[in-house]
Amino acid sequence: MLIRRSDDLKSSDITPESVCLDRRQFVGTAGALALGSVLTPATLQALSRTGGQPGTSEKLTREADATSYNNFYEFGTDKDEPKDQAKNFITKPWTISVDGMVKQPKTFAFDDLIKGLALQDRVYRHRCVEAWSMVIPWQGVQVRDVINRCDPLPSAKFVEFTTLLDPTRMPGQRRSVLPWPYTEALRLDEAMHPLALLVTGMYGKPLPNQNGAPLKLVVPWKYGFKGGKSIVRLRFTDTMPHTTWNDAAPSEYGFFANVNPTVDHPRWTQAKERRIGQFLKIPTLMFNGYGQQVASLYSGMDLRKSY
């Protein structure tokens, strides 16, 4: 076992120690691979296997699919456009500003924001609201570690993530297909959950531009649109922030956006999904299969109303 599948992790399991151990094990093999050889699908599949645990038969999505079938409207609205339109997007230098309800507003250089934080290797299911899905090996840091570095005030209840606004570098922003910049937000307790990541890489490589380089939010129990890409700002607040898709079409995209097979999108069912690379549709799982870890965040809420 090299990468523990996140769906085998209970939140109580995720101690800094076990995380470091996973990392060392990963570096042992994948680190050697990074020194000149290529990560083959078979190797990546082996990296994702934990042996005998439920759910581990799910195959990783081919890297070529995960990096060429993208939603990133800043670089085109067709799935195959971002990989071409983002090809020359420059992400160095990159800064992330932190403001709102924090002890002290700050601007971090990208490296400083994540420096010293435990790097995580996690294989997550990724479920788009459009009823397709993938299984992706991510590398990144826990959102909670970044939040702790930001020193939010105790009164902060939400954190908002903003994508870069720069129509000279993001051609899609020259058209008003969405209100720019793209923003997303989480309740602070959701953001502090150990499954929530800010990713910097996938498939053992730096995050490709089309997947949201250099920093993308990944919240595996929610629909993919919650995972804002190319993030430049974290803002802490005590009122629920507006979010891009919720503003664009509130009846189709809720603030919570928890994967829920019992709440249909107004134009299609969410009970099933097409796993990219597979022929037959498969059932969608409540909380995308992460209910054991995250359901308690929503106890007492009507998830049909708070979709």
Ligand X SMILES: Nc1nc2c(c(=O)[nH]1)N[C@H]1C(S)=C(S)[C@@H](COP(=O)(O)O)O[C@H]1N2
* Interface residue list for ligand X (CB under 6 A): 70-74, 126, 128, 163, 182, 211-212, 224-225, 227-229
CA distance 40 to 34: 12
> Could you say which of 224, 227, 241, 254 contacts Mo ion (CB under 5 A)?
224
Restricting to residues 92-151, which ones interact with Mo ion according to CB under 5 A?
A: 128-129
> In Å, how far from its chain's centre is CA 289?
15
Is residue 225 near Mo ion by the rule CB under 5 A?
yes
Q: How far is the CB of 144 from ligand X (least distance, A)?
A: 20
Residue 83 in contact with residue 67, Cβ under 8 Å? yes
Partners of 201 in beta bridges: 139, 206
Give the nearer residue to Mo ion in terms of CB position, either 204 or 224: 224
In this structure, how many other beta carbons lie within 10 angstroms of the beta carbon of residue 146? 23
Residue 140, binding choice from Mo ion, ligand X, none, Cβ under 5 to 8 Å by partner class = none
Q: CA 143, 149, 150, 152 torsion: positive or negative?
A: positive
Residue 260, binding choice from ligand X, Mo ion, none, Cβ under 5 to 8 Å by partner class = none
Residue 214, binding choice from Mo ion, ligand X, none, Cβ under 5 to 8 Å by partner class = none
Residue 122, binding choice from ligand X, Mo ion, none, Cβ under 5 to 8 Å by partner class = none
Q: How far is the CB of 86 from ligand X (least distance, A)?
A: 10
Give the nearer residue to Mo ion in terms of CB position, either 23 or 127: 127
Question: Cα torsion at 76, 143, 14, 127 (round to 10°)?
Answer: -20
Give the nearer residue to ligand X in terms of CB position, either 152 or 212: 212
Sequence-distant (6+) residues with CB within 8 A of 48 are 2, 3, 5, 56, 60, 123, 135, 137
Give the CB-side neighbour count of residue 287, counting CA atoms within 13 A. Answer: 14
Q: How far is the CB of 155 from ligand X (least distance, A)?
A: 28
Binding positions for Mo ion, rule: CB under 5 A? 71, 128-129, 224-225
